[in-house]
């Protein structure tokens, strides 16, 4: 088992001190927080912290139930409930009767929500274009592939830890 701060090389041996990676991750999280704050100032159509949830709802052609959204987003149902209330209050999503069960409601993105989401995605794209202006296509592709692998492997590590804890 590896101690925190070490990492495996491609050959599988423990190599070096991962503290530098910890610092880079902290820098990345700070940058993400700053990006969110700037986006809220410059592109306030979607309240701070709700772009991801709005995107999740938008990604489902027929909308979704709040409990399904909580599962997909891996969020606590109470967090989703507050987010949904804020998105409804801003006119970005609406609650519609579920055609299969009139007692239930389906969440769907409104036209204003789609416009705000498109504007927000454009804002992020412009920011990334500026930030990566000095990078070549291979560097950008390598960053994307590395981030994809890292987030996937991190989720697996977290799930394995949760499964080990549940088994104890």
One domain, residues 54 and 19 = no
One domain, residues 58 and 121 = yes
List the domain range (segments joined by +) for residue 60.
Answer: 46-140
Residues of the chain with pLDDT under 50: 1-6, 9, 11-16
Calpha distance 80→91 (Å, rounded): 16
One domain, residues 52 and 130 = yes
pLDDT tens column, 100-144? 888 899 999 999 999 999 999 999 999 999 999 999 999 999 999
Question: For position 13, what pLDDT does the model report?
Answer: 36
Q: Give the count of domains, the chain.
A: 2
One domain, residues 27 and 53 = no
Question: For position 168, what pLDDT does the model report?
Answer: 56
Structural domain contains residue 34: yes
| CATH number, domain with residue 90 | 1.10.10.10
Structural domain contains residue 161: no
Structural domain contains residue 103: yes
Cβ-based burial of 116 (10 A; exposed 0-12, middle 13-18, buried ≥19): buried
Structural domain contains residue 24: yes
One domain, residues 8 and 54 = no
One domain, residues 66 and 98 = yes
One domain, residues 6 and 70 = no
Whether pTM exceeds 0.85 = no
One domain, residues 81 and 121 = yes
């Amino acid at each position: 088992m590896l101690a925190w701060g070490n990492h495996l090389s491609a050959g599988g041996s423990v190599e070096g001190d991962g503290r530098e990676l910890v610092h880079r991750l902290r820098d990345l999280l700070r940058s993400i927080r700053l990006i969110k704050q700037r986006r809220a100032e410059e592109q306030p159509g979607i309240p701070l912290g709700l772009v991801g949830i709005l995107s999740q709802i938008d990604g489902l052609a027929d909308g979704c139930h709040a409990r399904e959204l909580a599962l997909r987003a891996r969020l606590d149902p109470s967090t989703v409930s507050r987010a949904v209330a804020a998105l409804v209050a801003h006119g970005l999503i609406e609650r519609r009767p579920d055609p299969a069960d009139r007692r239930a409601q389906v969440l769907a993105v409104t036209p204003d929500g789609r416009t705000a989401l498109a504007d927000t995605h454009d804002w992020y794209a412009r920011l990334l274009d500026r930030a990566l202006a000095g990078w070549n296509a291979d560097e950008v592709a390598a960053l994307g592939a590395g981030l994809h692998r890292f987030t996937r492997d991190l989720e697996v590590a977290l799930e394995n830890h949760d499964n080990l804890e549940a088994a104890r």
